[in-house]
Every structure is written in C-alpha cells, then in structure tokens.
Amino acid sequence: MPDLGRTLILLGLLLVVAGLLVIFADKIPWIGRLPGDIYYKSDRVTFYFPIVTSLVVSVVLSLLFYLFRR
C-alpha cells in the first residue's frame, strides 16, 4: 500500500508541473516555433503541425523517465 501512496504523490507532482507548463507556455518563446514545425496559412485555412517541437518534447520526457527509472 505504501507504493500506491508514492505513485499518487508522483502523479500529483507531474500534474502540477504540467499545469505550470500550460500556464507559462506563452512566456517561453521557442515552444511551438522551432524550425521544422509545419505552418501553412492561406485566406481560409490555417494548418499548424509542431512536429519538431513534439520530437524535442518526446526526447526530453524519454530521458527524464529513463533517469527516474534508474
């Protein structure tokens, strides 16, 4: 049962960090505007696909999870 408590505390901390990132994301100018992100705008259509930003976030999270697992 202590493992469940630790897991819940860790998930709560992760939610707090995710919430802070959402709140302060507009203060970080490079998030979502990296070279390689696809952005198309015409008169009627705007398409945005942050592929490079997604890859960077994925690599950072993978490294963090790898370090915490050890």
For residue 66, give its domain range: 32-70
User: Which runs of consecutive H residues, i.e. helices, occur in the chain?
Assistant: 2-24, 51-69
Q: Residues 36, 22: one domain?
A: no
Same domain for 39 and 17 = no
Indicate the DSSP class of residue 31: T
Q: Are residues 5 and 18 in the same domain?
A: yes
Q: 39 and 68 share a domain?
A: yes
Q: How many domains does the chain have?
A: 2
Give the other-Cβ count within 10 Å of 54's Cβ.
Answer: 13
Tokens representing 12?
């709560």
Is the separation of the CB atoms in 46 and 38 below 8 Å?
A: no
Give the pLDDT confidence of 23-68 residue by residue, as tens digits: 887 787 777 778 888 989 999 999 999 899 889 889 988 998 888 7
pLDDT tens digits for range 1-21: 778 888 899 899 989 988 887
Name the nearest CA neighbour of 32 among 56, 16, 50: 50
- The whole-number pLDDT of residue 23 equals 86
pLDDT at position 63: 93
